Chain A
């Protein structure tokens, strides 16, 4: 009897510990993509990728016809962004206002990529040194931010945007926004 317990008890501990680690694993992925506190967009002064026009934060806060802007961080050297690209084109077709942030890229390469594969972006902020990206807290491409019309970042996602991410991560926030407005 005693012997049985001396075997059972430690293995129970080990099992519990493993369970705890497993919970930690799933929790970690939740913190990486969790719902965030609204955060003001940092100020910036950069140029548009194709037109060279000067762009500032006002791009996101001036009287807009839409309730939110999707800010998508991409680069021509980023292979994963190419997987994401068709989905962005689809979103643009559905009328989502998308602004691109071209991250640490070559102007020529980025422009020609947009010409050959299609351009889902209304405007593309050209950020060759990653200054705006650094203030935003961009970890790597592709990354997407949902920004409301007051220039507040209300959601972010690191990784490839697809239907399920869009439905589960961004849609609920957008519904909340439009509800408040009406």
Chain B
């Protein structure tokens, strides 16, 4: 009976997510990047090495708004190239990581953050795994203790 229920729930999930796929960013189309755009991004020269590594690290932490799971470094979509150039320029101009992240989230929402903020909305996201680990440790210890008692 329980198995039947689980199967039902699974199918329901698959069905609803298929319906939702209708209006994801995937449904919207985008064009290929222009040549001068690629050159501008790929040959960007930083004032110093430190700025360069900070910019690249930050671009890795920001998700391309058009793609479902690619960061600004990986994606080849024109919007990702543009945003990467903006990250480079802002870092080179001495803007802090927080300022740049704010710039991005103001436009594209929290969706672009690969490193979500720690706030009331995301407590479950950050603390959930720890809680699960704790739960399984407790259960594990109990089970082991019990089996030791039985063998004794």
- What 1/0 flags go to A88-132 for Cβ under 8 Å of B? 000000000000000011000000000000000000000001100
Q: Let me know if B5 and A158 touch, CB within 8 A.
A: no
Q: Let me know if A136 and B23 touch, CB within 8 A.
A: no
A49 at the interface (CB under 8 A from B): no
- The smallest beta-carbon distance between B67 and chain A, in angstroms, is 10
- What 1/0 flags go to A8-51 for Cβ under 8 Å of B? 10010011001101100110110111000000000000000000
Q: Which residue of A lies closest to B29 (CB)?
A: A78
Label chain B's interface by main secondary structure. Answer: helix
Residues of A in contact with B (beta carbons under 8 Å apart): 7-8, 11, 14-15, 18-19, 21-22, 25-26, 28-29, 31-33, 75, 77-80, 104-105, 129-130, 134-137, 139-143, 158-160
A-B contact pairs, 20 of them (CB 8 A): A7-B2, A18-B9, A18-B13, A22-B12, A25-B13, A26-B20, A29-B23, A77-B31, A80-B28, A104-B30, A104-B78, A130-B78, A134-B83, A134-B107, A135-B107, A139-B25, A141-B29, A158-B25, A160-B23, A160-B27
Selected from A7, A15, A134, A143, the residue in CB contact (under 8 A) with B79 is A134
Give the bracket for the number of chain B residues in contact with chain A: 20 to 34
Residues of A within 8 A of B37 (CB): 129
Q: Which residue of A lies closest to B24 (CB)?
A: A32
In Å, the complex CA distance between A104 and B65 comes to: 16
Label chain A's interface by main secondary structure. Answer: helix
Q: Let me know if A11 and B2 touch, CB within 8 A.
A: yes
**A129-B37, A136-B107, A158-B28 given; 14 more Cβ-contact pairs under 8 Å:** A25-B16, A75-B29, A79-B29, A137-B108, A139-B25, A139-B66, A139-B79, A140-B25, A140-B28, A140-B66, A141-B28, A158-B23, A159-B27, A160-B27
Q: Which residue of B lies closest to A18 (CB)?
A: B9
B92 at the interface (CB under 8 A from A): no
Within 8 A of A (CB), among B1-34: 2, 5-6, 9-10, 12-13, 16-17, 20, 22-25, 27-31
Q: Let me know if B6 and A80 touch, CB within 8 A.
A: no
In Å, the complex CA distance between A18 and B13 comes to: 9
- The smallest beta-carbon distance between A45 and chain B, in angstroms, is 18
Q: Let me know if A139 and B65 touch, CB within 8 A.
A: yes
Enumerate the 10 nearest inter-chain pairs by beta-carbon distance, A residue then B residue, closest first.
Answer: A140-B28, A137-B107, A159-B23, A78-B29, A139-B65, A11-B2, A104-B31, A29-B20, A137-B108, A140-B30
Q: Let me know if A21 and B30 touch, CB within 8 A.
A: no
